[in-house]
């Protein structure tokens, strides 16, 4: 694809730089985090798509280490918030305090909370009450918080990585569907393999722990997010994404038998937006300036798995959202035009 005019006159060079920076950040994270390559990649996809991620896994799998290392690699201010039942909205947002200046004049001054950072770890987010969860929801949705009728903007970039334990449910408050929908991806953190466990033991019990170095900065990160928005998407690809999301609804004409039987509610339009943005990032990582069918299929499961609401019969039959999505991807018809759409590599002739 030749260089283009407009806001990105040298698109080929920018795509190559994007892929190079992404690979460098991904490699640095992998140097510290043993295994978990899909978790690392999906976290970066969410960040560059301008969204937020929900990490689900049992304790001790390195979720906190991943977020801390990500902050070091991207050189972003990092805040960790430990969510507990007694945590109040003011504890994370901040509050106005009565301050006295040198002349004795008193005034209310806003004291920012830990939410005023670039990279936020919301640890065990489902332990907080709905009131506190809603405060986090506003920040995720609007990138701002409201205190005493005053709106305070949050810094750019703003990325929330929330964690939750899928096993321990006592004393927790399930996240409402509206808040789950704000997460671009739900990322499952698996247990390590034997070889990975050996490597973890060797790294964490020795005298010289591995430390991450900076690979990106705020300016570069913001520019990469802007480039993602500039990636064109063919109408046939957008149509496939739309049909894919609608096929998760049991009343849709394209819904499979599995969807009609086990799904109560399908994914929202926000899910389609998340698929498109994450597919754009994946295309750039591959050095392409256009989205292909493979990009959409690669991100569909982590983007949609938390947006499907299954019925009681699905629980009885041990049917998971991932199984539903796999079935939808398998049965959804692909237009011939889309199947013939080859990924365009930069530097190739059109």
Average pLDDT over residues 5-9: 47
What whole-number distance in Å separates Cα of residue 122 and Cα of residue 67? 10
Confidence band (pLDDT; 50, 70, 90) for 128?
A: confident
- Report how far residue 4's alpha carbon sits from residue 163's, in angstroms, rounded to the nearest whole number: 41
Q: Contact at 8 Å (CB) between 163 and 124?
A: yes
In whole angstroms, give the CA distance from residue 308 to residue 279.
20
Contact yes or no for 321/271 (Cβ under 8 A):
no
pLDDT at 342: 55
pTM for the whole thing? 0.85
Q: Do domains 1-88+116-230 and 231-343 have the same CATH topology?
A: no
Q: How far is Cα of residue 266 from the mean position of the Cα atoms in its chain?
A: 19
**Distance separating alpha carbons of residues 276 and 43, to the nearest angstrom:** 16
pLDDT value at 8 more than 60:
no
Task: Give the CATH architecture of domain 231-343.
Answer: Orthogonal Bundle (1.10)
Question: How would you class 149 by CB atoms within 10 Å of its CB: exposed for 0-12, middle for 13-18, buried for 19 or more?
Answer: exposed
> Can you tell me whether residue 11 is helix, strand or coil?
helix
Highest mean pLDDT pick, 4-18, 128-142, 157-171: 128-142
CATH number of 1-88+116-230: 3.40.50.300
For residue 169, name the pLDDT band (cuts at 50, 70, 90): low
Residue 325: predicted pLDDT: 95
> How many CA atoms, within 13 angstroms, populate the side-chain half-sphere of residue 229?
10
Q: What is the mean pLDDT of the chain?
A: 83
Q: Which residue is it, tokens 């969410």?
A: 46
CA proximity to 188, closest of 166, 158, 159: 166
Nearest one of 222, 232, 304 to 270, comparing CA atoms: 304
Domain ranges of the chain: 1-88+116-230, 231-343
Region of residue 75 (phi > 0: left; psi between -120 and 50: alpha; otherwise: beta): left
Structure tokens, 49: 């798509």
How many Cβ atoms are within 10 Å of 210's Cβ, its own excluded? 12
d(CA 43, CA 185): 8
Q: How far apart are CA 47 and CA 158, in angstroms?
A: 9
What is each CA distance from 88 to 57, 91, 165, 232, in whole angstroms?
A: 25, 5, 21, 43
Pick from 125, 140, 138: which is nearest to 83 by CA?
125
Q: What's the pLDDT at 6? A: 45
pLDDT band at 27 (very low <50, low <70, confident <90, very high): confident
Q: What are the tokens at 177?
A: 């569907």
Please give the Cα distance from 122 to 81 (Å, whole number). Answer: 5
Confidence of residue 279 (pLDDT cuts 50, 70, 90): very high
Secondary structure element (H or E) that encloses residue 122, with its range: strand 119-123
Which of 279, 230, 276, 292 is CA-nearest to residue 15? 230
For the cut 90, the answer to whether the pLDDT of residue 76 exceeds it is no
Q: 338 or 72: whose pLDDT is higher?
A: 72
């Amino acid at each position: 694809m030749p260089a283009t005019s407009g806001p990105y006159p040298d698109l080929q060079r920018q795509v190559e730089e994007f892929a190079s920076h992404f690979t460098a950040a991904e490699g640095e994270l992998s140097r510290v985090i043993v295994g978990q390559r899909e978790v690392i990649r999906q976290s970066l996809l969410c960040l560059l798509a301008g969204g937020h991620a929900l990490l689900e896994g049992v304790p001790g799998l390195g979720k906190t280490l991943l977020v801390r290392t990500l902050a070091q690699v991207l050189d972003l201010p990092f805040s960790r918030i430990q969510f507990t039942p007694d945590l109040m909205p003011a504890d994370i947002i901040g509050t106005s305090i009565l301050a006295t200046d040198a002349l004795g004049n008193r005034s209310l001054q806003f004291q920012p909370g830990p939410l005023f950072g670039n990279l936020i770890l919301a640890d065990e987010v489902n332990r907080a009450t709905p009131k506190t969860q809603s405060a986090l929801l506003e920040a995720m949705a609007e990138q701002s918080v409201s205190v005493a009728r005053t709106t305070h903007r949050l810094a750019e970039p703003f990325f929330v990585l929330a964690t939750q334990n899928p096993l321990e449910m006592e004393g927790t408050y399930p996240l409402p569907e509206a808040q789950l929908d704000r997460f671009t991806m739900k990322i499952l953190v698996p247990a390590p393999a034997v070889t990975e466990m050996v490597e973890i033991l060797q790294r964490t019990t020795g005298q010289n722990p591995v430390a991450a170095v900076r690979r990106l900065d705020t300016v570069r990160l913001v520019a990469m997010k802007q480039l993602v928005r500039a990636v064109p998407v063919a109408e046939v690809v957008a149509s496939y994404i739309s049909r894919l999301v609608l096929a998760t609804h049991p009343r849709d004409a394209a819904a499979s038998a599995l969807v009609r039987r086990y799904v109560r509610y399908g994914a929202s339009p926000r899910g389609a937006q998340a698929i498109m943005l994450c597919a754009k990032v994946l295309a750039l990582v591959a050095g392409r300036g256009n989205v292909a069918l493979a990009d959409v299929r690669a991100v569909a499961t982590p983007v949609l798995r938390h947006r499907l609401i299954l019925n009681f019969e699905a629980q009885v039959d041990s049917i998971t959202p991932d199984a539903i999505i796999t079935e939808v991807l398998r049965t959804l018809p692909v237009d011939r035009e889309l199947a013939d759409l080859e990924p365009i590599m930069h530097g190739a002739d059109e």
